[in-house]
Amino acid sequence: METMKTKRVTIVFWVITLAFLLVGTVGVYAAVTPPAPTLSAPSNDSLFTIESITLKWSAVPHDNGYYWVSWARAGDLDTWLAPPTARIHGTETTLSREYVRDYMVYNGNADTFYWQVQAEVDASYYWPESWSPLSESWSFNILKWPAAWIDGGYWEAHTVDSTDSLKGIDGEAYSKLLQYGSPETGWWETVGNGEVPVTVSPNAHLSWTDRSTDEQPKSVAFADFYRVQIAAASSFNGTVIEATSEALFYDTPELAPGAYYWRMRSETRAGLVTDWNAPRKFIIAAAPQRETTISCSVSPSTTPVGSPVTISGSITPLHPGSLLSIWVMDGGSWRDLASTNCRSDGVYSLTWTPWEAGTYQIKVSWDGDVTHDGSTSEAAQLVVNTPTTISCSVSPSEVTVGGSITVSGTIDPPVSGATVTLTCTKPDATKFTRTVTSGSTGSYSDAYKPDVVGSWSVSASWAGDATNGGASSSTSSINVKKSGCLIATATYGSELSPQVQFLREFRDITVSSTFAGSNFMTIFNTFYYSFSPGVASTLYDNGVLREAMKVILYPLIGILGASSLIFPIFSFGPELGVVLVGLAACSLLAIVYIVPLVLLFGSIRRFEISPKTIRPMFIVWVSDVAVLVLAEALQSSLLMMVASGAFVVVTMCLATLVTARTVMGHFSRFRTVEG
């Protein structure tokens, strides 16, 4: 009789356990109503010039092949518009350059746009739905080219295409202009429509604005700077000046009298470049100036022995073809180094290689011509030092996230006390630097723990000093691997198996996405990876053990699946959600894996669990929950690691004691009734 009742209790226990597993499995694989399309390209908040733009998204399961695309301007998100082809067969569509320019950008004076997609779905599959939900809205931005702005405060006069006449100029200024031509001679010929500004100054003030505004000059959205070209011909062959400006204007250096053409475009530091705007014309009508200046610079200003430097500059006003003399002082007296001519753009450049260390002074002079006096530049300094090299190596070259690497190397010839800069590049191409000081032998060493999975790289450099040249090393690579589920991977044979994927997602999405969970994973990984490599190696070599491990892991996967259903319910408070997930998972794991062993041991040794044993454990559990709350409030990683690890252990112990005592109590009553 006692045996029959014991079997009944055992059957009830396993039925309850299987019910938990069934609920978890059904929860994991429950069907959902039609998903929204997922936008894939271009990436959210991308930046384009005015060009054709291809929009891409992922297909919705059981669609009928058609998708509807709409877009809205950032300033009017209540109005969503359809492109020329709104109903798309497939998962991509292209907005033409003309449509982007004429209808989207300049029709509404907008720079930022949002777009979304909705799918037509198979109503027989998603009954009664025939439309998917709208996708999330992604944005893209348009970098426009600027438009010329004639700032009347800087120009003495201007001509107009329609009348080809001069306006706003007094008699004296008009007389100066006529020295260089007149409207009747065609000297005022314009390019495009609009005004041609004229100045009697040797410098021109060129300004521009956003093409979409008729107000005062306004910056082009998303432009980091503007590139300006000035040429003597509208074809821009033989450009006279090319310069960049972060402002909405550019003041030219002194220019010789004549007609010039200019154009500009918007650029970003990331390399995005718009088209040039339509060329505009301006006229310099200043009388020739006899005084000139000449500039001189040396690049780089500090260099190792045997490395070439560039001596360059220009004459103001520009004098293409002029013969220049370059002088060098290296021992207290000047000596003739070389001669060179200005190029057609008025700039000169000469490459020179110094072969002795020291400090040099360099200057440039020219003799002038029939209308301009000669001049001599200020001296530019060049420091030539002893070349050095620097090495850089990483050990180990492959590490898991959170593992430590050591970057080391040597400056040769040895330099003690040098500041070495280590430039580290993360997998997403972002860079950061660390500094370390070299020792007496010129060697350096630095330890670091990579925190992102992927391919890293690091290089070393130092700036040099008064007697030694700086140097940069080659790049060393580090492969940072994600911490894997070693035992599960060995059991199921692949990291791509559904079970391993689920465990990884449970770890990364449910647990590690929170402060409490990520700190628990830190202490758990320390424990887990202390023994899992050896267990995984044994499983790989033994098929019987792998099959046995599958049986052992099956309840674990079901319990984690059931527990993970709690997390979305507490999306308003993920920290609370992950604690409740841990509470449920630890309790169920204790019931399934530990309680049967305790009951078996108890039946053999004939012991009972007293409430006096449970009460202290409950007090410890409540205290640990209080510490968890304190760690969360203080955002203390160390306190959270200790509290979360203790929470898991104490919860499993408490669940084991309570469940085992309950079951033992039932067994005792059965025995009493039977007796």
Model pLDDT, residue 234: 82
> What tokens does 514 get?
């929170």
Model pLDDT, residue 600: 77
Query: What Cα–Cα distance (Å) separates residue 411 from each residue in 283, 305, 392, 474?
Result: 57, 17, 10, 13
Name the DSSP letter for residue 440. Answer: T
> What tokens does 144 get?
């426009």
Mean pLDDT is highest, among 399-408, 591-600, 606-615, 645-654, for: 645-654
Among the residue ranges 69-78, 250-259, 417-426, the one predicted with the least confidence is 250-259
Dist CA 289 CA 274 (whole Å): 38
Which run of H or E residues covers position 649?
helix 637-674
Model pLDDT, residue 246: 93
Name the DSSP letter for residue 105. Answer: I
Q: What is the residue whose two structure tokens read 């505004």?
A: 213
Residue 407 confidence class, pLDDT cut points 50, 70, 90: very high
Dist CA 350 CA 343 (whole Å): 11
* Mean pLDDT computed over 543-564: 78
> What tokens does 277 get?
């705007």
Model pLDDT, residue 583: 80
Q: In terms of pLDDT, which residue wins out, 316 or 446? A: 446
Among the residue ranges 119-123, 174-178, 526-530, 601-605, the one predicted with the least confidence is 174-178
Query: What Cα–Cα distance (Å) separates residue 404 from each residue in 135, 391, 407, 463?
Result: 42, 20, 10, 27
Model pLDDT, residue 190: 42
Dist CA 110 CA 167 (whole Å): 35
Query: What Cα–Cα distance (Å) separates residue 346 from each residue in 57, 293, 559, 661?
Result: 53, 12, 79, 97
Phi-psi region of 74 (alpha: psi -120 to 50; beta: other; left: phi over 0): alpha
Q: In terms of pLDDT, which residue wins out, 556 or 248? A: 248
Q: Pairing relation of β-strands 92-95 and 398-400?
A: unpaired
Longest dimension (CA), the chain: 133
Query: What Cα–Cα distance (Å) separates residue 583 from each residue in 16, 25, 491, 637, 638?
Result: 18, 19, 26, 20, 21
> What tokens does 305 get?
């022995």
Query: What Cα–Cα distance (Å) separates residue 309 from each residue in 339, 345, 548, 634?
Result: 16, 21, 72, 57
Residues 6+ away with beta carbon under 8 Å from 464: 302, 385, 388, 470, 471
Dist CA 646 CA 527 (whole Å): 13
Among the residue ranges 283-292, 394-403, 419-428, 562-571, the one predicted with the least confidence is 283-292
User: With 80 as the cut, is the pLDDT of residue 553 above it?
Assistant: no
Give which of 576, 557, 558 is closest to 566, Cα–Cα: 576
Model pLDDT, residue 169: 46
Would you tell me the crossing angle of helices 532-541 and 543-564 to the nearest 10 degrees?
130
Provide the sign of the torsion angle of the four alpha carbons 213, 214, 219, 220, taken in this order. Answer: positive
CA-atom Rg of the chain in angstroms: 39
CB atoms within 10 A of CB 671: 13
Do the first three CATH levels of 147-284 and 293-385 match, i.e. the same topology?
yes
Third-level CATH fold of 389-481: Immunoglobulin-like (2.60.40)
CATH (residue range 39-143) = 2.60.40.10
Residue 31 confidence class, pLDDT cut points 50, 70, 90: very low
Model pLDDT, residue 194: 55
Query: What Cα–Cα distance (Å) separates residue 220 from each residue in 39, 275, 348?
Result: 28, 14, 34
Dist CA 226 CA 193 (whole Å): 22
- Exposure string for 127-151, b = 16+ CB within 10 A, e = fewer: eeeeebeebebbebebbbbbbbbeb
Among the residue ranges 55-59, 237-241, 432-436, the one predicted with the least confidence is 237-241
Dist CA 22 CA 44 (whole Å): 40
CATH (residue range 147-284) = 2.60.40.10
Where are the domains positioned within the chain?
39-143, 147-284, 293-385, 389-481, 486-674
Q: Pairing relation of β-strands 323-329 and 334-341?
A: antiparallel
* Mean pLDDT computed over 79-89: 90
Residue 94 confidence class, pLDDT cut points 50, 70, 90: very high
Model pLDDT, residue 2: 52
Residue 670 confidence class, pLDDT cut points 50, 70, 90: low
φ, ψ (nearest 5 deg) of residue 477 = -105, 150
φ, ψ (nearest 5 deg) of residue 52 = -70, 140
Query: What's the angle, vertex CA 658, arms to CA 655 and CA 663, rounded to 5?
Result: 115
Dist CA 504 CA 542 (whole Å): 24
The chain-wide mean pLDDT, for the chain, equals 80
Dist CA 419 CA 438 (whole Å): 7
Residues 6+ away with beta carbon under 8 Å from 118: 36, 37, 67, 68, 70, 131, 132, 133, 134, 135
Q: How many contiguous H segments (helices) and E segments (strands) does the chain have?
A: 14, 38
Q: Which CATH superfamily is domain 293-385 in?
A: Immunoglobulins (2.60.40.10)
- Classified as helix, coil or strand, 309 is strand
Percent of the chain scoring above 70 in pLDDT: 81
pLDDT in tens, 185-208: 444 444 444 567 777 677 888 888
Residue 162 confidence class, pLDDT cut points 50, 70, 90: very low
Residue 72 burial (C-beta neighbours within 10 Å; 0-12, 13-18, 19+): buried
Dist CA 199 CA 169 (whole Å): 10
pLDDT in tens, 213-235: 555 678 888 999 999 999 988 88
Residue 138 confidence class, pLDDT cut points 50, 70, 90: very high
Give which of 672, 659, 670 is closest to 597, Cα–Cα: 659
Model pLDDT, residue 18: 67
* Mean pLDDT computed over 463-488: 80
Among the residue ranges 45-59, 99-113, 565-579, 594-608, the one predicted with the least confidence is 594-608
Q: What is the residue whose two structure tokens read 């007496």?
A: 440
Q: In terms of pLDDT, which residue wins out, 588 or 188? A: 588
Model pLDDT, residue 27: 42
Give which of 280, 294, 285 is closest to 250, Cα–Cα: 280
User: With 50 as the cut, is the pLDDT of residue 160 above it?
Assistant: no
Model pLDDT, residue 8: 65
Dist CA 273 CA 265 (whole Å): 7
* Mean pLDDT computed over 322-351: 88
Cα-Cα-Cα-Cα torsion 556, 557, 563, 569, nearest 10 degrees, comes to 170
Name the DSSP letter for residue 386. Answer: B
Model pLDDT, residue 28: 39
Residue 67 confidence class, pLDDT cut points 50, 70, 90: very high
CB atoms within 10 A of CB 506: 20
